[in-house]
């Protein structure tokens, strides 16, 4: 929190000048907050309330020094239901908004959680930065390369603390894995293999179009994405992930979490130079999706190789694990998922294990630690566990994997300095999204 903000809070003594559609500033009766002065408290707001955002908000509110003063959603049913949930659990009564631009006018908000579908990350994040708010924005950072670029610029230009929702960066088992790899004991890192075979990657069973649900502003939900004359539930809440206008399928949805670990292991902090990607829709014709149900991608690094693959709808994979990472080093492989990791020794020429086997303690969900890290950084102004540069980098890897297949190029070369693919004009047309009026891609 800035000093001017602290001073303002002391003077205003919790008065919220809301322009929302319902509710009023919450009485601070939550026992977690008793004894706190306004300057100790971080006022958070949520944009996009249904699923992940509601979870992330609760992780914030479980901390001793936060409160929720505003919530926004374009689905009135979700907004009211989630607000009632917050009131019941935390005894806080946020101001409710149906337009995030109005919410951002609320000067009492210190930090905003953006948990809308991916096509709706960029504008709220950048406008929030402009309005002087810190931002926790969900992954993938955005639905296009240029949006990611602008979001990095906005965080810098407005000097904001930004956390991207790649919560594995805050998790102990992943931090331990990175320490083990970087210690050198496992030998040289040569390859990281990633697989992500989730059922939800094939989308939902096809259903007929239906009327827009009561209480939903569907045009606002579509926002900068192309207009649609019809509503279909398989493209709406939760299901939007498998449609190019709103998401990028499994590789941008789960893939970014796992790719992030593979890049972290090699301390890679740059966009890809070259990628090789093949994919297609090969199965489940009764299911509604555009994004590829089957993908194999190679991301060459300077001195190791990352591979990613998925066969959506199978929910199984190597070692009996539906998803996972295999960090292959000279002396051992680390096999990991969110439930923990195992060190599997490689053999020497006499078939002896090169090092001892090891099995980690059980992993835990890292979301709460990521929120805690964000709130600490909001207060200290330190760099978060997953700053926008890291969010951009991994989002670019995932988007390029899709672009290579969508253009039929399969191999793409990227020059980060010029923000261009050097071997495909077709691919270059995917860099900057076309926003539907009145929405305009912001200039930063
Ligand atoms: N970090 C993780 O592990 C993790 C897990 C799940 C989802 N996510 C990410 O969280 C985000 C949300 O995913 P979800 O599963 O909660 O989606 P969802 O569809 O369940 O919820 C999105 C909500 O945003 C609302 N919304 C849409 N446009 C809006 C707008 N312009 N203003 C306000 N509200 C708007 C919708 O009405 C809906 O309530 C996505 O980016 C997703 O990738 C991250």
Q: Is the pLDDT of residue 22 over 80?
A: no
Q: What is the CATH number of the domain that holds 100?
A: 3.40.50.720
Residues 8 and 135 in one domain: yes
Distance 236 CA to ligand 1 centre (A): 10
Of 266 and 31, the one with more pLDDT? 266
Range of the domain at 323: 170-364+394-428
| Angle of the 145-157 helix axis to the 388-406 helix axis, nearest 10 | 170
Q: List Cα–Cα distances, 244 to 87, 312, 386, in angstroms.
A: 36, 16, 25
- Model confidence band, residue 15 (pLDDT cutoffs 50, 70, 90): very low
Atom of ligand 1 nearest to the CA of 239: 19
Q: What's residue 40's pLDDT?
A: 83
> Is the bond into 431 cis (omega within 30 degrees of 0)?
no
Q: What's residue 203's pLDDT?
A: 95
Distance 64 CA to ligand 1 centre (A): 25
> Per residue in 180-234, pLDDT tens?
999 999 999 999 999 999 999 999 999 999 999 999 999 999 999 999 999 999 9
Across the chain, mean pLDDT equals 92
Atom of ligand 1 nearest to the CA of 121: 41
pTM over 0.95: no
Looking at ligand 1, which residue's alpha carbon is closest to its atom 4? 52
> Per residue in 312-327, pLDDT tens?
999 999 999 999 999 9
> Per residue in 355-367, pLDDT tens?
999 999 998 999 9
> Among 49, 117, 223, 246, which residue has the most ligand 1 atoms within 8 Å of its CB, making it the best to mutate?
117
> Per residue in 72-99, pLDDT tens?
999 999 999 999 999 999 999 999 999 9
Residues 253 and 316 in one domain: yes
Number of other residues whose CB lies within 10 A of the CB of residue 207: 10
> Is the bond into 140 cis (omega within 30 degrees of 0)?
yes
Q: CB within 6 Å of ligand 1 — which residues? A: 47-53, 72-75, 78, 100, 115-118, 120, 138-139, 165, 167, 220-221, 223, 237-238, 253
Looking at ligand 1, which residue's alpha carbon is closest to its atom 9? 138
Residues 217 and 143 in one domain: no
Q: Is the pLDDT of residue 11 over 50?
A: no
Beta bridge partners of 134: 111
Distance 116 CA to ligand 1 centre (A): 4
Out of 28-37, 224-233, 248-257, 315-324, pick the least confident: 28-37
Residues 229 and 346 in one domain: yes
Residues 144 and 58 in one domain: yes
Distance 257 CA to ligand 1 centre (A): 16
Looking at ligand 1, which residue's alpha carbon is closest to its atom 25? 48
Q: Is the pLDDT of residue 304 over 80?
A: yes
Residues 184 and 271 in one domain: yes
Beta bridge partners of 294: 280, 311
Query: How many percent of the chain have pLDDT more than 70?
Result: 91
How large is the average pLDDT for residues 255-281? 97
């Amino acid at each position: 929190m800035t000093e001017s903000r602290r001073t303002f809070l002391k003077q205003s003594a919790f008065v919220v000048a809301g322009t929302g559609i319902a509710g009023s500033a919450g009485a601070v009766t939550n026992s977690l907050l008793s004894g706190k002065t306004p300057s100790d408290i971080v006022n958070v707001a949520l944009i996009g309330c249904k699923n992940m955002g509601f979870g992330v908000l609760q992780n914030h509110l479980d901390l001793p020094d936060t409160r929720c003063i505003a919530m926004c959603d374009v689905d009135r049913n979700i907004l009211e239901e989630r607000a009632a949930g917050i009131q019941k659990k935390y005894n806080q009564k946020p101001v409710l908004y149906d337009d995030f631009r109005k919410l951002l006018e609320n000067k009492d908000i210190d930090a905003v959680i953006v948990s809308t579908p991916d096509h709706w990350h960029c504008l709220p994040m950048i406008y929030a930065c402009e309005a002087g708010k810190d931002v926790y924005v969900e992954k993938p950072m955005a639905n296009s390369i240029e949006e990611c670029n602008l979001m990095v610029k906005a965080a810098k230009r407005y000097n904001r603390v930004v956390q991207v929702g790649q919560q594995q960066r805050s998790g102990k088992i992943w931090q331990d894995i990175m320490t083990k790899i970087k210690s050198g004991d496992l030998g040289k890192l040569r390859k990281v293999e990633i697989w992500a075979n989730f059922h939800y990657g094939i989308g939902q069973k096809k259903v007929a179009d239906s009327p827009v649900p009561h209480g939903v502003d569907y045009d606002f939900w579509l926002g900068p994405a192309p207009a649609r004359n019809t509503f279909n539930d398989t493209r709406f809440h939760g299901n939007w992930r498998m449609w190019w206008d709103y998401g990028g399928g499994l590789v941008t949805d789960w893939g970014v979490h796992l790719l992030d670990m593979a890049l972290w292991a090699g301390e890679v902090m740059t966009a890809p130079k070259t990628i090789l990607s093949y994919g297609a829709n090969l199965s489940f014709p009764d299911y509604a999706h555009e994004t590829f149900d089957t993908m194999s991608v190679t991301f060459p690094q300077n001195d190791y190789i990352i591979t990613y693959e998925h066969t959506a709808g199978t929910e199984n994979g190597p070692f009996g694990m539906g998803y996972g990472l295999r960090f292959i080093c000279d002396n051992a492989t680390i096999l990991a998922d969110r439930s923990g990791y195992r060190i599997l020794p490689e053999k020497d020429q006499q078939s002896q294990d090169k090092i001892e086997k090891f099995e980690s303690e059980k992993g835990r969900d890292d979301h709460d630690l990521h929120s805690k890290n964000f709130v600490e950084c909001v207060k200290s102004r330190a760099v978060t566990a997953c700053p926008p540069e890291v969010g951009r980098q991994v989002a670019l890897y995932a988007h390029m994997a899709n672009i290579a297949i969508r253009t039929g190029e399969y191999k793409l070369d990227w020059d980060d300095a010029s923000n261009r693919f050097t071997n495909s004009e077709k691919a270059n047309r995917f860099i900057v999204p076309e926003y539907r009026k009145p929405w305009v891609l912001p200039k930063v």
